[in-house]
Amino acid sequence: MKLSNIKPISFLKSDAARIVTELSETREPLIITQNGEAKLVVQDIASYEAQRQTIALLKILALGEKEIAQGKVTMAADVFAELDQLDKKDGA
């Protein structure tokens, strides 16, 4: 992250329209400080949505790993056999 992407809250107040344009173009987040301390991050909506999707996928992976560790698994061959049985019942 570029150091120029850290600005005081007064910058956010006075340059909001320009910030929207820049963030939409660069897709780089902007860190806002208050009294010299980082307080919030501003980012464009496309980056925000991509980040949310990434987090959702990571949660699914973590859940899958947890279920594997707990032994909550079914062998693929068993799943396919069950699906074959369901197909035979539906075809009859």
pTM for the model stands at: 0.69
Selected from 1.10.3470, 3.10.450, 3.40.1620, 3.40.50, the CATH number assigned to the domain covering 1-43 reads 3.40.1620
Edge to edge, the sheet with strand 37-42 lists 6-8, 30-34, 37-42
Distances from the Cα of 83 to the Cα of 71, 74, 80, angstroms: 22, 13, 5
Q: Where are the domains of the chain?
A: 1-43, 46-92
Rg (CA), the chain: 24
Residue 3 has pLDDT above 70, yes or no: no
Average pLDDT, the chain: 92
What's the mean pLDDT in 45-49?
Answer: 96
